[in-house]
């Protein structure tokens, strides 16, 4: 597991590759934690790409600006497409040598990090 050195705010290490004996829940939570620390377009954490709610909820109260940014970032447009591709590339690098790649491969051509069902 290595840190991405160009993002000064990163304090969470990338998850280890997902292999046959890897625990899914720990891998998923580690991936989400990492994506919370990596900034995409407009300085929004990449975790917004895989958030549960597809429809932004701007009129709700949030724990922090961090949570609000993730919750209200639109899941459409050129910035989203760029961030979605980045998320896919990270997921691909973590799954390509294990059993999850069979599932992820369907989203390879589109570089779609949201559709594999993380949310």
Instruction: Flag whether 61 is in a domain.
Output: yes
| Residue 75: inside a domain | yes
pLDDT tens readout for residues 74-104:
999 999 999 999 999 999 999 999 999 998 9
Sign of the Cα torsion 114, 116, 118, 119 reads positive
Number of domains in the chain: 1
β-pair partners for 39? 45
pLDDT confidence bin for 2, thresholds 50/70/90? very low
Q: Which pLDDT belongs to residue 117? A: 72
9 — pLDDT class (breaks 50, 70, 90): low
Residue 71 lies in a domain: yes
pTM for the model stands at 0.86
| Residue 49, domain extent | 40-107
Looking at the DSSP assignment, which residues form a beta bridge with residue 45? 39
Residues 77-82: contacts with CB within 8 Å, 24+ apart?
79/40, 79/41, 79/42, 80/41, 80/49, 82/40, 82/41
């Amino acid at each position: 597991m290595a840190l991405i050195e160009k993002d000064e705010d990163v304090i969470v290490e990338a998850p280890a590759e997902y292999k046959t004996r890897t625990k899914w829940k720990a891998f998923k939570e580690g991936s989400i934690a990492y994506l919370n620390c990596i900034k995409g377009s407009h300085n929004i954490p990449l975790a917004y790409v895989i958030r549960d709610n597809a429809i932004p909820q701007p009129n709700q109260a949030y724990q922090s600006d961090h949570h609000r940014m993730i919750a209200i970032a639109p899941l459409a447009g050129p910035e989203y497409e760029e961030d979605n591709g980045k998320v896919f590339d990270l997921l691909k690098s973590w799954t390509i040598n294990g059993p999850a790649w069979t599932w992820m491969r369907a989203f390879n051509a589109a570089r779609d990090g949201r559709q594999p069902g993380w949310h």
